[in-house]
Amino acid sequence: MLHRPGRGRIPLRRVPLTNGPEQPPQFSHTFERTTQDCAQVKRTLSKACNFPPEIIDIVMDFAEYWVCSVTSIDFSVTATGHLTIRGSEPKRENKLILRTGPLGLPSWHADDHDRWQSAAATCPMEEEYPQEELKAFVEGSSSTLVHPARKVVFDIVSRDQGHGGSYEDHGSFRHSWTWFDAGIDRFDKGHKRPEDEERAASDNSSGDLSMLTTGAIRSVWPPLKEDASEYDHQLHTTSDHKIQCNRLAEHDWQNYHVEWSWTDNIDPESSAGNELEVNGRGSATGDGNFIKRLRIGDMVTVWGRARFPGWSNNIQKVQVQVYTAL
């Protein structure tokens, strides 16, 4: 307290008199360890210790010396400052937020930017690429480990509409109808452009990265309806794909940090699985199966969801880090 003689006591203010502009939490900066970085360390270990490739891969994995790729999108720089997904609008209540680059193929680049930013075409997968063909595109020697993906980290800054639901649920994740799912996209070997057919016929080559076009991307999850006319988006959350739902009736931006690892081993029916649900995550996302399913060339997708009138998923930033053993 400030005490001035002959005057009343004036309390010290520890907060500003007026509220400044609301600022969302900031993502932490991550060092993107490249394929070249990992290849150099593997060569050094091979020369220094004369270890076989299998032992070197085990050492690299134990040290978690993995390639890290980061994909992010920031809606705070747009005119509205965020993206809004509203429930009760069937054509807009499910939206692809971002797609990571193909796993293990850092040199690949999208040939069609508009397609890359859109959900994969609603076409059934004709033929998946054999892993041996895709591994031929990996820079340096590929890992001998069974599962190339080791960890995926999601950072999301979002909030719901700031009201609604039961008062008892406010501030919790119970009965939240705005959330995020993780999906998987893959290249369809059966999709070829006319120029690809001509080149294959002329040189009999196995192709190169240019054969992997954005038009060949197909969705493994979310699935398509039986007639492949559109995506089969579920009304409710899917326990093995839900990254995070929004805390109910929050006005402030919330920063959600979620990690999925190939070593995760949580039974969705256990108390630990229930704890995931209590914290707004999918109860079946802690068993490591999503990470183990990822193959060379796969792309991780993030979908934003909202259900029912009055509910809106407001998104400011999304970032995905994919760690790969190569």
Q: Which three-class secondary structure state does DSSP give residue 40?
A: helix
Segment 109-160, tens digit of pLDDT: 999 999 999 999 999 999 999 999 998 888 776 778 889 999 999 999 999 9
| pLDDT mean over 31-36 | 83
Q: Are strands 149-159 and 254-261 parallel, antiparallel or unpaired?
A: antiparallel
State phi, psi for 250 to the nearest 5 degrees. -100, 130
Among residues 183, 219, 180, the alpha carbon closest in space to that of 307 is found at 180
Q: Are strands 178-187 and 94-99 parallel, antiparallel or unpaired?
A: unpaired
Angle between helices 35-49 and 53-62 (to 10 degrees): 120
**Residue 161: is its pLDDT beyond 80?**
yes
**Residue 211: is its pLDDT beyond 60?**
yes
CA–CA separation, 200 vs 192, rounded Å?
10
Segment 4-25, tens digit of pLDDT: 444 444 443 333 443 444 555 5
State phi, psi for 16 to the nearest 5 degrees. -65, 155
Residue 61: alpha-carbon gap to chain centroid: 22
Query: Which band of pLDDT confidence, cut at 50, 70 and 90, is reported for residue 162?
Result: very high
Dihedral sign, Cα of residue 170, residue 174, residue 178, residue 182: positive
pTM for this model (two decimals): 0.87
Segment 216-229, tens digit of pLDDT: 999 999 999 999 89
Query: Which band of pLDDT confidence, cut at 50, 70 and 90, is reported for residue 198?
Result: low
Tokens, residue 129: 């690429």
Between 29-33, 215-219, 232-236, the lowest mean confidence (pLDDT) is in 29-33
Q: In this predicted structure, what is the pLDDT of residue 158?
A: 98
Question: In sequence order, what are the residues at sequence separation of 6 or more whose Cβ sits closer than 8 angstroms to the Cβ of residue 199?
Answer: 205, 207
